[in-house]
A and B are shown apart, each in its own frame.
Chain A
């Protein structure tokens, strides 16, 4: 253990003074500052551009009223919605871009609820129209205009204004909606942080291993420490280095965003459900270890840094897979595929960081994934150090798959 610590300290101290590290660490805050500067000037224009691109306008809506409930149109809707006597005329109006879309309400609407929506572009804008508050209010107002008060009609059109309270958070008065959002954001944030740390640190590990290879100091080192001690020391030292860099980046972003993000950061631990936070940190640490150990072994395989980086890239991608699946998971956080990825050690850390806040994760998944990680880390460290040792001693050529397998067998 002492030797692991000596290697870790050496790796950290040597690399933290490296020009490349200092430049990279300083670059992100500087770019951030520059970005802020640019945003201050062009921010307004950019926002309106984004809005026009991504938020579709509802535009004018035509309606063919075969039911008869919408004739005449109530005055508050006259500007937006226009009556057409039949489908042909309505279609012509959409085609000529006079109307953005056309609703056809059939005679049997009351029984079936079916409304045909005709648009030029198709699916997406039709779906938006269906969800549109205006269109819903339009239907409710016309169907119930003689029977119900306007206040009730408005309520029927928007039956629920949600006030979310979770039982665990109820005890904490300042929780509320913010707490629920934070419960989602913090783990997502930890997930992204994990992926970032993995990318940054694996970069340092690859560099460090390549340096050891080119300086040919390897045999001397291996006459003093085992490959496992060396790999573990490198992982810890360079991991601390990567963490230093990310803390500086985060710190600078807090400073740049004028402290508001900073306040959020201080508030985070109090608002997040404690078990989510604790497990989040556990998965973060385990995730980091499993990848760092893997990267050290993989890094020794390549002959050049580029080659090692390509090999490492394949594995880095695995950490990011759960982030890409984020959308699916919101709808069903406990689906089978998600559970499988939660158990697989390379995807488990990010997967669980995302899953934890979304739903009550079955205890068996939590225990199982942590157990798998705890088993996988020493195995990968063991296998990694074998490959590491063999890879480092082969100068200028990449070991074949057969040689890798033999190195593992010779353990």
Chain B
């Protein structure tokens, strides 16, 4: 059983009669990248804020590194959605201050700040004021502020918001590197395609309620209708277990029913059809989400 870093049970948070988070239960395991996904206004930020002890939950329990929220602040890194830094202070000073508040000694804080600035190519800006930095640079600086004290659990609320594609890749690389160093990362995003490739496990929420939860691969396997994409110049005849074939030039999209992609491939080989490409298509998470939400609304 993997070690649980974060756990919520039956979490409920209401504002003036409006239920922002409705009965959420989930666990985050050590070393995972956990995606908290959902459209805008789904309740991701509210859930994160209760975990961070900024809001008190109305119902339910939360355990962060084995403690109630707010107990082990120094081992958690947090990038809030509502973010900013002291604009009229120097980059390095701000980082050192924030690290010191996490209990890091001044000397270590300085050392780590400089190291992280170098990693994110911001070394030249250490002595500049925060307001002199471009938007993208400030975003990166925000990220540094959340990791500079070497936290075990990193909670990133919409970390890719407002970043250009180059910086999205840079940040993804950083998050993967942190995972490689044994850190646990929880990140929220409303653009699911951005984080799909990054996450090990996810919780997909809508209107404050859990829609999909668990291992991402498993979810995909369960929800993706068996679809195979293949390219061939030969003609495909009737195939067993294939419900539908769509053709576009030499690319065929086959919807499978009662046959695994593996068996289909064997059948194609047996029939001596020259396959140029064969690809098991899994539906993007966004499609699964839409399908599940539609299904739920019809029920």
A219 at the A/B interface (Cβ < 8 Å)? yes
Residues of A within 8 A of B49 (CB): 219
Shortest CB-to-CB span from B142 to chain A, Å, is 8
B98 x A222 contact (CB < 8 A): no
A225 x B85 contact (CB < 8 A): no
B97 x A220 contact (CB < 8 A): no
Residues of A within 8 A of B145 (CB): 220
B84 x A223 contact (CB < 8 A): no
B101 x A7 contact (CB < 8 A): yes
B150 at the A/B interface (Cβ < 8 Å)? no
Kindly identify which residue among B82, B86, B87, B101 contacts A224, using a CB–CB cutoff of 8 Å.
B101
B73 x A223 contact (CB < 8 A): yes
* C-alpha spacing A10/B89, complex, angstroms: 11
* C-alpha spacing A2/B106, complex, angstroms: 12
* C-alpha spacing A3/B74, complex, angstroms: 11
* C-alpha spacing A6/B97, complex, angstroms: 8
Residues of A within 8 A of B270 (CB): none
A217 x B101 contact (CB < 8 A): no
Residues of A within 8 A of B102 (CB): 224
Residues of B within 8 A of A2 (CB): 103
* C-alpha spacing A395/B74, complex, angstroms: 26
List residues of B (42-60) whose CB comes within 8 Å of A's CBs.
49, 52-54, 56
Residues of A within 8 A of B83 (CB): 216-217, 219-220
* C-alpha spacing A212/B89, complex, angstroms: 13
A410 x B54 contact (CB < 8 A): no
Residues of B within 8 A of A220 (CB): 78, 80, 83, 85, 98, 145-146
B7 at the A/B interface (Cβ < 8 Å)? no
A376 at the A/B interface (Cβ < 8 Å)? no
B225 at the A/B interface (Cβ < 8 Å)? no
A225 x B78 contact (CB < 8 A): no
A225 x B54 contact (CB < 8 A): no
B84 x A217 contact (CB < 8 A): yes
B56 x A223 contact (CB < 8 A): no
* C-alpha spacing A389/B52, complex, angstroms: 13
B52 x A223 contact (CB < 8 A): yes
A215 at the A/B interface (Cβ < 8 Å)? yes
* C-alpha spacing A395/B80, complex, angstroms: 14
Contact with B along A216-259 (1 / 0, CB 8 A): 11111111111000000000000000000000000000000000
B76 at the A/B interface (Cβ < 8 Å)? yes
Shortest CB-to-CB span from A208 to chain B, Å, is 11
Q: Given A6-B97, A10-B97, A224-B101, A216–B76 Cβ distance below 8 Å? A: no
Residues of B within 8 A of A10 (CB): 97
Nearest B-chain residue to A222, judged by Cβ = B54
B100 at the A/B interface (Cβ < 8 Å)? yes
Residues of A within 8 A of B97 (CB): 6, 10
B74 x A217 contact (CB < 8 A): no
B70 at the A/B interface (Cβ < 8 Å)? yes
Name the residue among A223, A395, A410 with the largest chain B CB count within 10 angstroms: A223
* C-alpha spacing A226/B69, complex, angstroms: 11
B86 x A217 contact (CB < 8 A): yes
Shortest CB-to-CB span from A237 to chain B, Å, is 12
Contact with B along A1-38 (1 / 0, CB 8 A): 01100110010001000000000000000000000000
B101 x A219 contact (CB < 8 A): no
B80 x A393 contact (CB < 8 A): no
Contact with B along A385-397 (1 / 0, CB 8 A): 0000100010100
B86 x A215 contact (CB < 8 A): yes
* C-alpha spacing A10/B73, complex, angstroms: 19
B101 x A3 contact (CB < 8 A): yes
Residues of B within 8 A of A217 (CB): 83-86
Kindly identify which residue among A7, A14, A216, A389 contacts B84, using a CB–CB cutoff of 8 Å.
A216
Shortest CB-to-CB span from A232 to chain B, Å, is 13
Residues of A within 8 A of B52 (CB): 219, 222-223
Shortest CB-to-CB span from B109 to chain A, Å, is 10
Nearest A-chain residue to B55, judged by Cβ = A393
Shortest CB-to-CB span from B54 to chain A, Å, is 6
Shortest CB-to-CB span from A42 to chain B, Å, is 43
B84 x A225 contact (CB < 8 A): no
Residues of B within 8 A of A395 (CB): 82
* C-alpha spacing A395/B56, complex, angstroms: 18
Shortest CB-to-CB span from B96 to chain A, Å, is 10
Name the residue among B53, B85, B101 with the largest chain A CB count within 10 angstroms: B101
* C-alpha spacing A10/B98, complex, angstroms: 10
* C-alpha spacing A217/B74, complex, angstroms: 17
Residues of B within 8 A of A393 (CB): 54
- Could you write out 10 A-B pairs with CB less than 8 Å apart? A3-B101, A216-B82, A216-B83, A217-B86, A219-B54, A219-B82, A223-B73, A223-B80, A225-B73, A389-B54
Other than A7-B101, A224-B74, A389-B54, give 5 A-B pairs with Cβ distance below 8 A. Answer: A10-B97, A219-B49, A219-B54, A219-B80, A223-B80
Q: B-contacting residues of A (Cβ < 8 Å)? A: 2-3, 6-7, 10, 14, 211, 215-226, 389, 393, 395, 410
- 7 A-B pairs with the lowest CB-CB distances in the bound complex, closest first: A216-B84, A219-B80, A224-B101, A223-B78, A215-B84, A6-B100, A217-B84
